[in-house]
Amino acid sequence: MSFNYPSKLVIGTSSRALFDLGESHQVYEEKGLEAYSKYQIEREDEPLSPGEAFPLVKKLLNLNENFTDEAVIEIVLLSRNSADTGLRVFNSVEHYGLAVSRAAFCGGDNPWKYISAFGCHLFLSNDASDVKNALDNGVAAATLVSSTSREEGSGQVRFAFDGDAVIFSDEAEKVYKKRGLEAFSASEKASAKTPLSGGPFKPFLSALHQIQKYSSTSSVSPIRTALVTARAAPAHERVIRTLRAWDIRIDESIFLGGLDKAAFLKAYGADVFFDDQQSHCDSASEHIATGHVPYGIANR
């Protein structure tokens, strides 16, 4: 089934997230920039191994086959490499048949500064400082913490999100951190009909929802979303009403009441999970690709 879609979903990824640059980065750390440049140029025809973001990027690009006219999902490469040392990266892109044509090679400078110029809805990186800068500039971003590449699985791409400080602001989480669970539950029950403010991933979730709306003629949407949150009743109602107020549909909502998220994420079959708390990310990363969102009170 093919669909028409009026705009693009743009995702930026660092070269170290897309490919495994661990060995060459070690050369840089131990021997300096000149040795690193020489190392990369001598091996520019040797394809790099896939990195943490590779399976997700590949699946996302494959979704473009579902749409007519032009690609709906675009991947932009953002790298601290120079164009000279970055040639190996682009050669690897070609080797794996990835439809990536736009890139910024920043010669050692921070690549996050070009995220907004490219119109990125999401930035994936292994560099926590670049991710923090992207978040500070209003772009959804995450540091990939998973330790192994994942299997591709089905053609559908499944996203999973934590709620507070990811999809939503951290306003409710502040109450929990400062006053405890009982106060948090009472506050959320009293504010059940008052929508939460948006968090850093609200615009990205909205962009995913737009693709889902335009592919609604298909029996199976190319994208599926899930909210996987430690919240439980009575704190569930405000979440549901907030998403309703935003006119954003989320396919699955799992209220765990403090249970470990990893088993549920594995059962859901998430391709990637985003959470603001490092401990949740560490647990989930044993099973699926995971992005830490260094935002909100839990990261201060």
Give me 77's structure tokens.
């490469």
Report the C-alpha gap between 233 and 240 in whole angstroms.
11
- Classify burial at 193, counting beta carbons within 10 Å of its beta carbon; exposed 0-12, middle 13-18, buried 19 or more: exposed
Q: How many CB atoms lie within 10 A of CB 66?
A: 19
CA angle 96, 26, 51 (to 5 degrees): 25
Residue of 130, 162, 170, 276 with catalytic role: 162
Q: Is 251 a catalytic residue?
A: no
Q: Is 120 helix (H, G, I), strand (E, B) or coil?
A: coil
Tokens 């089934």, residue? 1
Please give the helix or strand (H or E) that residue 144 lies within, else none: strand 140-144
User: What does DSSP say about strands 140-144 and 290-292: parallel, antiparallel, or unpaired?
Assistant: antiparallel
Residue given tokens 């920039």 in the structure block? 33
CA 178 to chain CA centroid, nearest Å: 28
Sign of CA dihedral 129, 125, 102, 73: negative
Q: Give the residue numbers marked as catalytic.
A: 162
